Amino acid sequence: MPSREVLAKGLVDKIGLKGSMIKHWRSDGTEMKLEGEILDHLTGIEYFLGILVSEKYGSIKDIREIDAIGHRVVHAGEKFASSVAITPEVVEALEECIDLAPLHNPPNLEGIYAATNLLPGIPQAGVFDTAFHQTMEDYVYLYGIPYSLYDKYRIRRYGFHGSSHKYVSHRACEMLGLDYNNTKMITCHLGNGASIAAIRDGKSFDTSMGMTPIEGLIMGTRCGDLDTGAFMHILNKEEVDISTGNILINKHSGMLGISGISSDMRDIEKAAHEGNKRAETALKMYAYRVKKYIGAYAAGMGGVDLIIFTGGVGENDVETRKNVMTNMEYLGIDFDFEKNEGLRATEAVLTREGSKVKVLIVPTNEELVIAQDTYDIVTG
């Protein structure tokens, strides 16, 4: 890609609801926020493009200056293992995946319909959260349930945050001058949603999120790994239905549910420092779950060369990194606890010189992956 400059970024919020609005930011720091009626995605994108070419807030003069559009799509099922050019066939394939992500895929598709409608003839690319993990082997992605359910409904591990895991792993190899295809990596994307991936031979080998983004690590309000037997027992005891159960594990659980304080790591750490036991336990649980996955993935891959922290918590939370990295010498990690202090949202190596396994912070940049993939696809 010739230039990596961000001209503008923006957000369309609360589509179809009262108080729908557009936030827009331009590279010179000009910001705007306007409320108005945005009933659907087409309208939202239309306004966004209007702002992009406007005299006051715009970054380009004419809509025809746009050469390509990249879409982030959450779930592509088993259909796509990499980013692709959007064609009618691709759209059709994505429509078939709605079942797998009923909350996320329909709006993603709306975005594609809207762009097709407003910028006809301009090439578009789809970048999928699941695509990077399509390299997992069957013994890794299958669940221990009747195989017929995989045949019938494609029930399996898909994994998410693909663009992020891909970006930070590539970037880490670039930083250290390592061969991507010959480096074993564990990438920890710790944000409000959190997942961890094992990358070997230049491919995603395993990842903690499953068919849905609920599995794996403990997250802000999601429970992560949970005994399905316990879940059924809860539904029974609390006399709630499946949809309420879904809210329970998605919104009431995780760090919020355990601590009873907040889903925000900073609030929980503050409470723990003030002696709140549950906050303390929550922090221990969070770090332990990450640690457990690192151990499992190191075993799964037969070793590890790099461990990478990214995402809001991974990039900024000194304490979480410290807790995860305590007592990890056995794995060949010589973690520099002093250096770790005070490092936030910056690329850095956190292990001492000579550490067999290197630990890094690499701030993620999913937008850049989408832009890069889109560029690669449209320039063929």
Partner 1 sequence: MTERLEDFSLSRKVKTRGSLHKVGIVGAGAMGQEIALVVSQAGLDVVYIDISEERIGEINARLGRLLDEIISKWGMTQNEKKLILSRIRGSVDYHDIFDCNVIIETINTKKRGTNLDLRKEVFKKIEQAVHPEAVILSNTATLMISDIAAVLKHPERAMGMHFISPVRKVKIVEIVRTFNTSEATINCVLKFAQLIGKTPINCGESPGNVTTRMIVPIINEACELIMEGVATVSDVDLAMREGYGLQFGPFEMADRIGLDKVLKWMDNLYDEFGELKYKPSPLIKRMVRANLVGKRVGEGFYKYADDKKIAKPGSIRNLGRA
Task: Give residues 46-75 in contact with partner 1 (rule: CB under 8 A).
Answer: 46-47, 49-51, 53-54, 63
How far is residue 198's CA from residue 221's CA, in Å, rounded to a whole number? 24
Q: Is 251 in the site for partner 1 (CB under 8 A)?
A: yes
Task: Tell me if 357 sits within 8 A of 333, measured CB to CB.
Answer: yes
Q: Is 16 in the site for partner 1 (CB under 8 A)?
A: yes
Q: Among residues 129, 206, 305, 317, which one is catalytic?
A: 129
Active site residue 129: yes
Nearer to partner 1, 52 or 90 (CB): 52
Assign residue 134 a region: left if phi > 0, alpha if psi is -120 to 50, beta otherwise?
A: alpha
How far is residue 162's CA from residue 79's CA, in Å, rounded to a whole number? 15
Q: Is 326 in the site for partner 1 (CB under 8 A)?
A: no
Kindly report the backbone phi and psi dihedral angles of residue 50, in degrees, each rounded to the nearest multiple of 5, phi listed first: -60, -45
Token pair in block for residue 111: 């975005």
User: Exactly one of 240, 296, 343, 378 binds partner 1 (CB under 8 A); which one?
Assistant: 240
User: Exactly one of 81, 122, 140, 248 binds partner 1 (CB under 8 A); which one?
Assistant: 248
Eight-class DSSP state of 352:
P
Where does this chain touch partner 1 (CB under 8 A) — which range of 176-184, 195-203, 239-247, 269-277? 239-247
Task: Give least dist CB 249 to partner 1, A.
Answer: 9
Q: Is 38 in the site for partner 1 (CB under 8 A)?
A: yes
Task: Tell me if 182 sits within 8 A of 160, measured CB to CB.
Answer: no
| Per-residue H/E/C for 202-239 | CEEEEECCCCCCCCCCCCCCCCCCCCHHHHHHHHHHHC
**Which residue blocks in 119-211 are alpha helix, DSSP H?**
138-141, 147-153, 162-176
Nearer to partner 1, 85 or 118 (CB): 118
Q: Is 282 in the site for partner 1 (CB under 8 A)?
A: no
Nearer to partner 1, 41 or 184 (CB): 41
Interface positions with partner 1 (CB under 8 A): 14, 16-18, 21-22, 32, 34-39, 43, 46-47, 49-51, 53-54, 63, 118, 238-240, 244-245, 247-248, 251-252
